[in-house]
Amino acid sequence: MGDSTTQVHTSCHGKNLSRREVLRLGGALALGGGVAGTLKWHHQRESGSRASVFIAQASGYDDDLVRVISTALAELGIGDAEIKGKRILLKPNLVETSPGQRHINTHPSIVVAVAEVFRRLGAADIVVAEGQGHRRDSLLVLEESGMDRALAGAHLPFVDLNHADFAEVRNRGTETGFSTLFIPKPVLSADWVVSLPKLKTHHWAGMTCAMKNLFGIMPGLVYGWPKNPLHRAGIAQSIVDINTTVPTSLSIVDGIVGMEGDGPIMGYPKPTGCVIIGRNATAVDATCARIMGFDPNGITYLAAASGRLGPVREENITQRGAGVASVLTPYDLVDAPHLRNVRAPRVAPETA
Amino acid sequence: MNRMGTSWQSELISRLAGAAAPTGGWGYHPGGIESSEPTALAVLALSAHEEHAALCARGLSWLASIQNDDGGVPVVPAVRAPCWPTGLCLLAWVKSQTPAGGAHDVPTRSATSWLLHTQGTPIPPDTRLVGHDTTLIGWSWVADTHSWVEPTAVALLALRGVGQQEHARVREGVRLLVDRALADGGWNYGNTRVLDNTLRPFPAPTGIALASLAGEPENACVRAAIRYLHDALHEVRSPMSLAWGLIGLSAWNARPSSSDKWLAESAVSSASRKQNCLNDALLLLAGDLETAGALLSEVG
């Protein structure tokens, strides 16, 4: 990592902390799923950091999602001139399965629709890839989630990132203390990595969306099941470093039915009726936080990413399509001390 | 099941043997980077077949060639860690039915030492966060991290295989697995409860844990895990989960009567996918009780 003793704009209960102290606290609190902690970065300067995020309303998975996503991409200025000949890696959130619990994972219809949009734009190659954090048997998750059938029907290959060949690359982030990260070669060889997360709460991080979704590119062969070294380094710190090292080109969030409560696995379905799309994952996640009724400034990883990886402040994000207010759906969140900063002040808990 | 096997087994044996890299190891996929886990399991699966004795001997030597000085065997040669496949490599060295099996006494001793000196990191208990005893010490996937189910179970299998079943580390590992068992049966990666919710079991870690506990007195968590697998495996044809599930049930003489049919269906299905050497080896091990016994032969 960089200068680990440098005082950074970091506070915990109003007390300034060195980066080393931040990292130590994050690691000590981590266990399996890890704890986000109550650390809160002050905002970095966001001057010059601006992004557009498109919110598309969609009432269900039977909607014409190809049209919805095509429209959004056009609004964001993404067309065939940019996509033609590109190798696209789609990274859904495919965590685990339980009968009747389809809201755990990115819906197959979203994945297939996104692939179709990229095909129409002339992509040379499209693969779907995931490396589950809890389950080594990705094939079983694919089968039980219905993703296997959907991908076969759309002639889309799947790559198991947990067991793919990998390479050691320099960690371009500075938060975890890792000098290098191990990244699967299919991710490194893609021209565009597209994050396709599910809109969900996360019982340690507050929420999981486009940025946290990239935990799934980290190979289990090196990081284990769960990916414990990343948790010990701190979830927020790891999110920032992974996204710094492997920036996504686009994020498309399945917010048609999200998950509230004890996410990312044990929560309840939350119909939200939207798909959130943007080139900048930080801006997309900040927008998603607002849609969920959360304060993005209270999400540790977003506070850490602010200004460095993208904008978090509302005034720096150009909302296109539907407005946040029109799809605002306050999400229930587990009642835990480490998440007390997440709830947006304007959303009273009793109404969430 | 006889040693000659069925047609799916014959095809799988040929396919797996044909996937060996020129250097002697196997990758997870043909042409992929040779890796210690698929190599160890491929050797175990093929070692009963005399026509592949030379192939297995080369595999064993390849594993020895990438072993670190401290006895750990890394996942791939290009890195020195993590070394969680070391237990499987140890099993391959001591259990493979090849003349070369006995030629690896030094790596065997070294790997045994590594396993006995490597441990997961205990964490101060906090029952508000998780349901398991975080102070029990087993084995981790990665150095300096917590103990989890699969690496602990693999370490137990391996250490039993070299006669260390009464070692204090093995006894604590057994206690850890019993503690990590889910109340309604089975295991997952190793969390029983997080915050207020009990988590779900998965077939593969349940099978590995059951196999590693073979030889222990049958207890409530074993019986519950057997019930879970009997219910779950009806619907499972994914090779990794089905194979480990059946190996675990076999260890407790609880193999369902439809096992061979399920394995055949799984093999046929996997033949239509990109070859996965780890899955091929696991299916062969689960399909041949005598070969699978290589994982379990010192128990019971």
Tens of pLDDT, residues B128-161? 889 999 999 999 999 999 999 999 999 999 999 9
CA-based torsion, A81, A285, A144, B132: positive or negative: positive
Q: Is the pLDDT of residue A38 over 90?
A: no
CA atoms of B102 and A202, how far apart (whole Å): 51
Query: Looking at residue A45, what is its pLDDT?
Result: 74
Q: Give the count of domains, chain A.
A: 1
Using an 8 Å CB-CB cutoff, list chain A residues near B241. 137, 140
Mean pLDDT throughout A290-303? Answer: 96
Burial degree of B206 (CB within 10 A; 0-12, 13-18, 19+): buried
CA-based torsion, B78, B80, B84, B87: positive or negative: positive
SS3 category, B87:
helix
List, in sequence order, every residue forming a beta bridge with A7; answer none if it has no partner: A18
How far does B248 lie from chain A, in Å, by closest CA?
Answer: 16
Q: Which helix (H) or strand (E) holds A67?
A: helix A65-75
| Interchain CB contact of B35 with A (< 8 Å) | yes
Contacts of A317 (CB under 8 A, 6+ apart): A50, A51, A52, A53, A283, A286, A287, A311
Using an 8 Å CB-CB cutoff, list chain A residues near B194. 32-33, 203, 266
Nearest CB among B84, B134, B238 relative to A139 is that of B238
CB atoms A232 and B196 under 8 Å: no
Asked if residues A253 and B172 have their Cβ atoms less than 8 Å apart, the reply is no
Query: Looking at residue A343, what is its pLDDT?
Result: 84
Counting one residue from chain A and one from chain B, the pairs whose CB atoms sit within 8 A come to: 107
Burial degree of A12 (CB within 10 A; 0-12, 13-18, 19+): middle
Tokens of A52: 């557009």
CA-based torsion, B137, B139, B145, B150: positive or negative: negative
Q: Which residue has the higher pLDDT, A326 or A8?
A: A326
Q: Is the pLDDT of residue A248 over 50?
A: yes
Q: Is the pLDDT of residue B72 over 60?
A: yes
Q: Which residue has the higher pLDDT, A20 or A84?
A: A84
**ipTM of the complex as predicted:** 0.95
What's the half-sphere exposure (Cβ side, CA atoms, 13 Å) at B198? 9
Mean pLDDT throughout A269-284? Answer: 98
| Interchain CB contact of A185 with B (< 8 Å) | no
Q: What is the DSSP letter of B187?
A: B
For residue A197, give the nearest of A261, A288, A321 by alpha carbon: A288
CB atoms A165 and B240 under 8 Å: no
Q: Is the pLDDT of residue A350 over 70?
A: no
Range of the domain at A95: 7-351
CB atoms B75 and A135 under 8 Å: no
Nearest CB among B78, B145, B199 relative to A224 is that of B145
Query: Looking at residue A44, what is its pLDDT?
Result: 57
List, in sequence order, every residue forming a beta bridge with A271; answer none if it has no partner: A257
Query: Looking at residue A29, what is its pLDDT?
Result: 37
b/e per residue, A55-86, with b = 16+ CB within 10 A? bbbbeeeebebbebbbbbbeebebeeeebeeb
Mean pLDDT throughout A49-63? Answer: 97
> What number of other Cβ atoms are within 10 A of residue B128's Cβ?
9
CA atoms of B197 and B207, how far apart (whole Å): 23
Which of A149, A165, A176 would best serve as a mutation to test chain B binding (most B beta carbons within 10 A)? A165
Q: Is the pLDDT of residue A8 over 90?
A: no
Taking the CA atoms of residue A172, residue A177, residue A178 and residue A180 in that order, the dihedral angle to the nearest 10 degrees is: 30
Tens of pLDDT, residues B199-210? 999 999 999 999
Query: Looking at residue A346, what is its pLDDT?
Result: 52
| Interchain CB contact of B142 with A (< 8 Å) | yes
CB atoms B200 and A136 under 8 Å: no
Q: Is the pLDDT of residue A20 over 80?
A: no
Q: Are strands A180-184 and A206-208 parallel, antiparallel or unpaired?
A: unpaired
CB atoms A224 and B148 under 8 Å: yes
For residue B28, give the nearest of B277, B273, B270 by alpha carbon: B277
One-letter amino acid at B243 equals A
Taking the CA atoms of residue A147, residue A153, residue A155 and residue A156 in that order, the dihedral angle to the nearest 10 degrees is: -10
How far does B232 lie from chain A, in Å, by closest CA?
Answer: 12
SS3 category, A342:
coil
pLDDT confidence of A33, banded at 50, 70, 90? very low
> What number of other Cβ atoms are within 10 A of residue A47's Cβ?
9
Burial degree of B146 (CB within 10 A; 0-12, 13-18, 19+): buried
Tens of pLDDT, residues A187-224? 999 999 999 999 999 999 999 999 999 999 999 999 99
List, in sequence order, every residue forming a beta bridge with A253; answer none if it has no partner: A276
Asked if residues A178 and A233 have their Cβ atoms less than 8 Å apart, the reply is yes
Mean pLDDT throughout B72-88? Answer: 98
SS3 category, A22:
helix
Query: Looking at residue B292, what is its pLDDT?
Result: 72
**Whose structure tokens read 């002639």?**
A155
Query: Looking at residue B97, what is its pLDDT?
Result: 61
Q: Is residue A1 part of a domain?
A: no
Q: Which segment of A100-114, A332-346, B163-177 scores lowest on mean pLDDT?
A: A332-346
List, in sequence order, every residue forming a beta bridge with A268; answer none if it has no partner: A260
Q: How far is CA B117 from CA A252, B76, B247, in A?
A: 46, 21, 28
- What proportion of chain B, given as a percentage, has pLDDT over 70? 94
pLDDT confidence of A337, banded at 50, 70, 90? confident
Query: Looking at residue A43, what is its pLDDT?
Result: 52
Using an 8 Å CB-CB cutoff, list chain B residues near A262. 195-197
Q: Which residue has the higher pLDDT, B231 or A17?
A: B231
**Whose structure tokens read 């943007």?**
A278
Query: Looking at residue A301, what is its pLDDT?
Result: 96
User: Mean pLDDT score of chain A, rounded to an integer?
Assistant: 87
Phi first, then psi: what are they for A68, rounded to 5°?
A: -60, -50
CA atoms of B183 and B52, how far apart (whole Å): 44
For residue A276, give the nearest of A328, A316, A333 by alpha carbon: A328
Using an 8 Å CB-CB cutoff, list chain B residues near A182. 79
What's the half-sphere exposure (Cβ side, CA atoms, 13 Å) at A259? 27
| Interchain CB contact of A226 with B (< 8 Å) | yes
Tens of pLDDT, residues B271-294? 999 999 999 999 999 998 777 776
Tens of pLDDT, residues B10-61? 999 999 999 999 999 999 999 999 999 999 999 999 998 999 999 999 999 9
Q: Which residue has the higher pLDDT, A101 or A319?
A: A319
* Total length of chain A: 352
Query: Looking at residue B188, what is its pLDDT?
Result: 97
CA atoms of A54 and B290, how far apart (whole Å): 59
Query: Looking at residue B31, what is its pLDDT?
Result: 95
Across chain A, which distance is largest between two alpha carbons, in Å? 55
Q: Could you tell me the end-to-end alpha-carbon distance of chain B, in angstroms, rounded to an integer?
A: 21
Mean pLDDT throughout A270-284? Answer: 98
CA atoms of B38 and B20, how far apart (whole Å): 10
CATH number of B7-296: 1.50.10.20
Q: Rounded to two decimals, what is the model's pTM?
A: 0.92
pLDDT confidence of B95, banded at 50, 70, 90? confident
Mean pLDDT throughout B57-85? Answer: 97
Mean pLDDT throughout A171-180? Answer: 96
- What proportion of chain B, given as a percentage, has pLDDT over 90? 87
Tokens of A222: 């090196």
Q: Which segment of A323-337, B99-113, B199-213, B217-231 scores lowest on mean pLDDT?
A: B99-113
Tens of pLDDT, residues B56-69? 999 999 999 999 99
Taking phi over 0 as left and psi of -120 to 50 as alpha, with beta for the rest, B119 belongs to: beta
Mean pLDDT throughout A88-101? Answer: 91
Tokens of A274: 């939207």
Contacts of B254 (CB under 8 A, 6+ apart): B226, B229, B230
CA atoms of B113 and B158, how far apart (whole Å): 12
| Interchain CB contact of A202 with B (< 8 Å) | no
